[in-house]
C-alpha cells in the first residue's frame, strides 16, 4: 500500500499537465529524425530525477521513433501506467526544461529491420509499467527495457543488461536510502535491469539532435 501511494505520487505527477501538441524544438527535430531513432528525455517527477542523479546523467526516459500509418512521427514507449504510442512533439515537450537528445545506430537500418522493430515494439504496447525495473518480468515493462527489447528483435544491443549490484558498483556515491525505501527495505542486488544512462552512453549510437543539454 505504501509503495502504491508513493508510485502514484511520483509517476502520476509525470502523467499530468506537461504535454503540448507542437513546438519549435519538435519541429526542428523532425528535420533530422528517422525511423528507429532513440529519443532521450528528462522526467519532471522525483523518482526519475533520482535515477538521473544516481546514474550521473541528465536523462531518465527513452522511447523509439516511428511513423504511424498517417505519416506522423510518434514514439513507442513504456510509461506509467502502460506502454503506449505518443506523438513525437508531446513526448519531447513532456521533458524537464525541454531537454532532449536523439541517437541513431551507426549503420543505416534497412526497411525490413524497421518493420521487425515496429512489430517488436507493437507487441509491447499495453504492458503495465514495472516499478521494480525487472528485465526478466515478461508481464511488465519499463522505458529502457522497451527500447532494448525493440532493438534485440534485430539482434542489436542498445546498452547492456546489468544487475543492480553492477549499477551500484559503477555509482559508489549513490545514496541507498531512497532505493531501500522504494524496494521496501531490501534492494534486489541480483535483479537484472537496464537504464537510460547506460543506453545513452552506448558508442554504437551517435547523436543526431540535441537541445537543452
Give the residue among 135, 76, 103 at the shortest CA–CA distance from 199: 103
Burial class (CB in 10 A: 0-12, 13-18, 19+), 132: middle
Average pLDDT over residues 39-59: 89
Give the residue among 69, 176, 173, 76 at the shortest CA–CA distance from 117: 76
- Domain assignment present for residue 123? The answer is yes
- Domain assignment present for residue 18? The answer is no
Report the number of distinct structural domains present in the chain: 1
* Cβ–Cβ under 8 Å, residues 60 and 52: yes
Burial call 77-95: b when 16+ CB within 10 Å, e when fewer: bbbbeebeebbbbbbbbbb
CATH classification at residue 107: 3.90.1720.10
Q: How confident is the model at residue 11 (pLDDT cuts 50, 70, 90)?
A: very low
User: What is the per-residue pLDDT for 145?
Assistant: 98
User: What is the per-residue pLDDT for 17?
Assistant: 36
As beta bridge partners, residue 65 has 75
**In 3-state terms, what secondary structure has residue 54?**
helix
User: What is the per-residue pLDDT for 97?
Assistant: 92
- Domain assignment present for residue 49? The answer is yes
- Domain assignment present for residue 26? The answer is no
Domain that holds residue 92: 2-12+33-211
pLDDT digits (tens, 9 = 90+) for 62-118: 999 999 999 999 999 999 999 999 999 999 989 999 999 999 999 999 999 999 999
- Domain assignment present for residue 140? The answer is yes
Q: Which of 101-115, 125-139, 160-174 has the lowest mean pLDDT?
A: 160-174
The reported pTM is 0.89
- Domain assignment present for residue 116? The answer is yes
- Domain assignment present for residue 201? The answer is yes
Average pLDDT over residues 118-143: 97
Q: Is the pLDDT of residue 7 over 60?
A: no
- Domain assignment present for residue 76? The answer is yes
Kindly give the residue spans of alpha helices, DSSP state H, lying in 70-183.
Answer: 88-93, 111-123, 143-152, 164-170, 176-182
Amino acid at each position: 500500500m505504501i509503495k502504491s501511494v508513493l508510485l502514484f505520487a511520483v509517476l502520476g505527477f509525470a502523467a499530468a499537465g506537461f504535454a503540448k501538441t507542437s513546438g519549435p524544438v519538435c519541429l526542428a527535430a523532425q528535420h533530422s529524425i528517422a525511423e528507429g531513432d532513440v529519443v532521450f528525455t528528462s522526467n519532471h517527477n522525483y523518482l526519475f530525477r533520482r535515477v538521473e542523479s544516481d546514474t550521473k546523467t541528465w536523462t531518465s526516459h527513452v522511447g523509439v521513433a516511428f511513423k504511424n500509418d498517417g505519416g506522423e512521427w510518434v514514439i513507442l514507449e513504456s510509461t506509467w501506467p502502460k506502454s503506449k504510442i505518443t506523438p513525437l512533439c508531446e513526448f519531447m515537450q513532456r521533458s524537464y526544461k525541454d531537454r532532449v537528445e536523439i541517437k541513431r545506430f551507426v549503420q543505416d537500418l534497412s526497411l525490413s529491420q524497421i518493420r521487425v522493430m515496429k512489430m517488436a515494439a507493437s507487441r509491447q504496447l499495453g504492458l503495465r509499467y514495472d516499478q521494480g525495473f525487472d528485465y526478466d518480468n515478461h508481464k511488465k515493462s519499463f522505458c529502457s527495457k522497451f527500447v532494448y527489447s525493440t532493438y534485440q528483435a534485430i539482434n542489436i544491443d542498445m546498452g547492456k543488461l546489468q544487475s543492480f549490484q553492477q549499477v551500484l558498483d559503477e555509482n559508489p556515491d549513490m545514496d541507498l536510502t531512497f532505493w531501500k525505501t522504494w524496494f521496501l527495505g531490501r534492494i534486489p542486488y541480483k535483479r537484472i535491469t537496464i537504464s537510460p544512462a547506460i543506453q545513452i552512453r552506448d558508442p554504437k549510437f551517435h547523436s543526431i539532435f540535441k537541445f537543452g543539454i
